[in-house]
């Protein structure tokens, strides 16, 4: 047998085209996906906790005639063009690919990791625990050394082919053990070209077979790896007993800012691993590790503006021990740690308004929204426990979300959903608790809340920058007309006039009488005609209270548990008032309002009882008091709302 390219026949089966599900997953953000997948594979192969995983990204030039099996690879590309000659777009793409191979030299990328085990299994075709086969020949196959491995779906390897203009990469590895864990020195080298289907040969047979698409530069017809370790980068040679893996990406599909994109992806996805000293990365000799990461994080020439708040916040959450509060999040599957960083108005642009969810081994999975009114950044780290294992099993292929629908058993699925719901609720509660400590000022909103829009709430007085004006004085004036519209009704339920309190007095009309309309018009569309009956108000010393809406207030509305209909309403009271009630309205898409029934309410932690579930109270407010109303309603889910505090 000889070392050459081999493209297995399909047996007149499936024909592989350009749009493959294996690579489509990563096309939206290829550099970000590539960096995440490469780094998580290296982290998963970490040899021991004593030394960090080290990963190098280095570009180099390669003469095309030095590509192993160069002529055979070009021939197969030509056969792909012939096979798909009826599809002009396929012909165009693969003609461009062939033109790349016809160049004298190409820019390639080498990715090497150190202090790892290497690709265990390179010396055997036994499938169990064979990481080498999983990486080079597996589709949807993963053989990780731990159930808490960062990658677990077996699709991440395909991101490497997107980085090659010729969809080709070579793998070289030196492993320090076999698949049974026996120590030794095991080496191998193989090429993988992820092409479309093409004719198998150049015969004239009308029914000639075609390939499966993917081919291998291998040592025999079994496509076994070559039993040596080779380097396409002539400036690099792996030393004896220097275990790890090298990936050589041909015709690296680069752009002018590829290094920045890799760095931004690295810092956004693996910040805890770098800060803790578990990961070091060099990109064309630029080293990013525990000691240098701070300089990179605050370098605006490297960090994209869109990523700045996330990257800077993550770094500060892990290093700013004075301002960051740490909490335990307890679940039935184990604990995780929550870090909360409240930010000042001057640092508003750094607030993410989210909680970054990190799963062991310290890879970011997703951001959990907290609400735009929270000027805060947070991070939740799920350590090496049952919770991490459970969530790893329900991650999607890109490792950017947890999807409980992947759990087939209904009772288990409901249990995990409850755990996730509990985590989210505890995160929100701890964030609110952190913001309340020593905070005597209202939370200034930076936009509508992510859960409940603060729609049409009160008569607010704002500066042009959106910050609430300080309360200097309060005047009582007749509020604007305030209509309450019944759901699906065409007319207001009442005239909605909000009147002022009068003390022991009556309106001095001309004769003291109040006319009553008799309920019909002189002409169609005309006004009511005065009736013959009248009544008179009587003078007295009692205070006659009438409805008055509390004005000059900005309310913050936060959904704390959408499934239970729980809300938190926060505002600063402008004046003292002993008898107040809460009205809460649901607004539909047309801004029509209907009353929301309030089942329970606490004011600043104290339970408020009420017989009326629509106009809930009474409760007292004091001037400049921060009022926090925790409310349970009969409306679940997220909905637009209008808040009214009525004083009587």
Over residues 92-149, the pLDDT tens digits come to 999 999 999 999 999 999 999 999 999 999 998 888 888 899 889 876 444 444 444 4
pLDDT at position 522:
47
Q: Is the pLDDT of residue 70 over 70?
A: yes
Looking at 291-383, which runs of residues are DSSP E strands? 325-331, 334-342, 354-359, 363-369, 376-382
Q: What is the pLDDT of residues 241-257, one digit of tens each?
A: 899 999 999 999 888 88
pLDDT in tens, 72-108: 999 999 999 999 999 999 999 999 999 999 999 999 9
The H-or-E segment that residue 403 falls in is none
242 φ/ψ sector (left φ>0, alpha ψ -120 to 50, else beta): beta
630 pLDDT more than 90: yes
If you write DSSP's letter for every residue of 603-617 in order, what string do you get? Answer: ETTEE---S-SSEEE
Confidence (pLDDT) at 22: 55
Among 351, 336, 363, 340, smallest CA distance to 276 is for 363
pLDDT at 476 over 80: no
Length of the chain: 648
User: Is the distance from CB of 466 to CB of 454 less than 8 angstroms?
Assistant: no
Widest Cα–Cα separation across the chain:
118
What pLDDT was estimated at residue 561? Answer: 86
Mean pLDDT of 344-365: 93
- Rounded CA separation 115/53 (Å): 5
> Is the pTM here over 0.85, yes or no?
no
């Amino acid at each position: 047998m000889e070392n050459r390219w081999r493209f297995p026949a399909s047996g007149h089966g499936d024909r592989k085209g350009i749009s493959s599900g294996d690579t489509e997953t990563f096309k939206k953000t290829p550099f970000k996906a590539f960096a995440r997948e490469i780094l998580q594979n290296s982290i998963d192969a970490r040899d021991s906790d004593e030394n960090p995983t080290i990963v190098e990204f280095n570009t180099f030039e390669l003469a095309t005639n030095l590509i192993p099996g160069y002529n055979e690879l070009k021939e197969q590309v030509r056969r792909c063009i012939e096979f798909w000659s009826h599809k002009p777009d396929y012909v165009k793409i693969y003609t461009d690919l062939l033109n790349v191979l016809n160049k004298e030299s190409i820019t390639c990328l080498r990715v090497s990791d150190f202090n790892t085990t290497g690709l265990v299994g390179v010396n055997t075709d036994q499938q169990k625990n064979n990481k080498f086969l999983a990486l080079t020949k597996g589709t949807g196959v993963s053989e990780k050394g731990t159930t808490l491995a960062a990658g677990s779906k077996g699709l991440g390897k395909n991101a490497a082919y997107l980085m090659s203009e010729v969809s080709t990469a070579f793998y070289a590895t030196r492993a320090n053990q076999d698949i049974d864990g026996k120590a030794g020195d095991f080496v191998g080298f193989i090429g993988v070209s992820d092409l479309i289907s093409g004719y198998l040969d150049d015969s004239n047979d009308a029914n000639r077979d075609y390939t499966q698409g993917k081919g291998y530069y291998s040592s025999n017809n079994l496509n076994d790896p070559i039993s040596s370790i080779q380097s396409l980068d002539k400036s690099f040679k792996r030393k004896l007993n220097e275990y790890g893996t090298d990936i050589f990406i041909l015709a690296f599909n680069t752009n002018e800012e590829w290094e920045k994109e890799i760095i931004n992806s690295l810092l956004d996805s693996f910040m805890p691993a770098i800060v803790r000293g578990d990961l070091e990365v060099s990109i064309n000799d630029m080293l990013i590790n525990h000691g240098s990461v701070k300089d990179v994080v605050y370098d605006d020439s490297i960090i994209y503006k869109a990523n700045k708040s996330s990257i800077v916040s993550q770094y500060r959450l892990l290093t700013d021990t004075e301002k960051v509060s740490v909490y335990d999040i307890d679940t039935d599957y184990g604990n995780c740690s929550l870090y909360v960083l409240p930010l000042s108005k001057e640092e508003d642009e750094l607030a993410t308004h989210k909680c970054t969810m990190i799963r062991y081994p310290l890879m970011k999975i997703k951001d959990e929204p907290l609400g735009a009114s929270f000027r805060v950044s947070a991070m939740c780290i799920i350590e090496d426990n049952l919770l991490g294992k459970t969530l790893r099993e329900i991650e999607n292929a890109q490792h950017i979300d947890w999807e409980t629908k992947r759990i087939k058993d209904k009772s288990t699925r409901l249990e995990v959903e409850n755990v996730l719901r509990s985590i989210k609720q505890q995160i929100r509660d701890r964030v609110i608790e952190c913001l309340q400590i020593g905070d005597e000022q209202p939370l200034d909103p930076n936009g509508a809340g992510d859960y409940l829009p603060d729609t049409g709430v009160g008569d607010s007085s704002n500066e042009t920058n959106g910050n609430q004006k300080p309360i200097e004085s309060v005047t009582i004036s007749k509020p604007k007309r305030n209509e309450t519209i019944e759901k699906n009704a065409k007319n207001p339920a009442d005239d909605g006039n909000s009147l002022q309190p009068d003390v022991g007095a009556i309106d001095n009309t001309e004769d003291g009488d109040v006319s009553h309309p008799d309920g019909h018009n002189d002409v169609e569309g005309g006004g009511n005609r005065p009736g013959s009956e009248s009544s008179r108000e009587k003078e007295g010393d009692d205070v006659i209270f009438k409805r008055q809406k509390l004005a000059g207030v900005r309310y913050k509305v936060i959904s704390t548990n959408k499934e239970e209909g729980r809300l938190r309403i926060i505002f600063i009271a402008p004046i003292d008032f002993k008898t107040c009630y809460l009205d809460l309205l649901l607004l539909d898409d047309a801004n029509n309002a209907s009353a929301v029934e309030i089942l329970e309410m606490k004011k600043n932690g104290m339970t408020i009882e009420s017989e009326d579930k629509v106009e809930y109270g009474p409760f007292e407010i004091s001037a400049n008091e921060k009022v926090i109303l925790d409310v349970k309603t009969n409306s679940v889910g997220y909905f637009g709302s209008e808040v009214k505090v009525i004083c009587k």
